[in-house]
Amino acid sequence: MLTVRHLTKSYRSAQEQVAVLRGVDLDIDAGESVALTGESGSGKSTLLHLIAGLDDVDGGEIRLDDTVVTGLPDAARAALRRDRLGLVFQQFNLIPSLTVGDNLAFQARVAGKHDATWQRELTERLGLGALLKRYPEQLSGGQQQRVAIGRALASKPLLLLADEPTGNLDEDTADEVLRLARDLVASTGCGFLMVTHSQRLAAMLDRHVHLRAGLIA
């Protein structure tokens, strides 16, 4: 489903050109969950952002099913994120002015894929039923991240990308949130790529890949 080949990316710092990714190869199948670990600055988040089409690659290819992501114009990449990807960030990135219910439904509505039954099931499984009328600022960190996961999965994406989704949560809450995410991913059959620092959490997923010096170790 996701195929990454010879992916390279570098940034220009004040003094020099820093190569972050030096030729990454990665494959993720439908229904597979993969943890991506690595030292700080090893390029984990960069790889995730490139797969999501949030940044431009220097070289190599990213293919999602039959679509070559690399080289797509901005509007097409936006459409790809909208219709086929789900994104979860460490900072939750909920829309503060929308209620929990509207946040959950937002991406599915924008994608024209809103399914009320699936929405209800998601709400129930994420334990958000009593919080639908609340605003993000009235939720705890764990609750906010559950809303973010729900929003990402509401449009039934092909691939869920999560960038340290538990980085702001305590250990118990992090375990709970990840278990929920993993179960929901399994029930939708989508792929799941999670960036994390935690070896413990990485062990909870199907496969674990480690990024070192810009390459998959």
Residue 208 CB, shortest distance to another protein, in Å, is 25
Shorter beta-carbon distance to another protein: residue 37 or 107: 107
Q: Distances in Å between the alpha carbon of 156 and those of 37, 160, 183?
A: 25, 9, 14
Residue 92 CB, shortest distance to another protein, in Å, is 9
Give, as one character, the DSSP assignment of residue 130: G
Shorter beta-carbon distance to another protein: residue 54 or 215: 54
Residue 34 CB, shortest distance to another protein, in Å, is 20
Pairing of the two strands 207-212 and 215-216: antiparallel
Q: Is the dihedral of CA 65, 70, 76, 81 positive or negative?
A: positive
Burial state string for 44-70 with b = 16 or more CB within 10 A and e = fewer than 16: bbbbbbbbbbeeebeebebebeeeebb
3-class DSSP state for residue 79? helix
- 39, two tokens: 């030292």
- Give the interface with another protein as residue ranges (CB under 8 A): 49, 52, 54-55, 74-75, 78-83, 85, 87, 89, 91, 93-98, 102, 106-107, 109-112, 135, 137, 139-141, 151, 168
Shorter beta-carbon distance to another protein: residue 10 or 168: 168
Shorter beta-carbon distance to another protein: residue 16 or 74: 74
Residue 141 CB, shortest distance to another protein, in Å, is 6
d(CA 194, CA 33): 8
d(CA 73, CA 78): 9
Shorter beta-carbon distance to another protein: residue 95 or 217: 95
Residue 147 CB, shortest distance to another protein, in Å, is 12
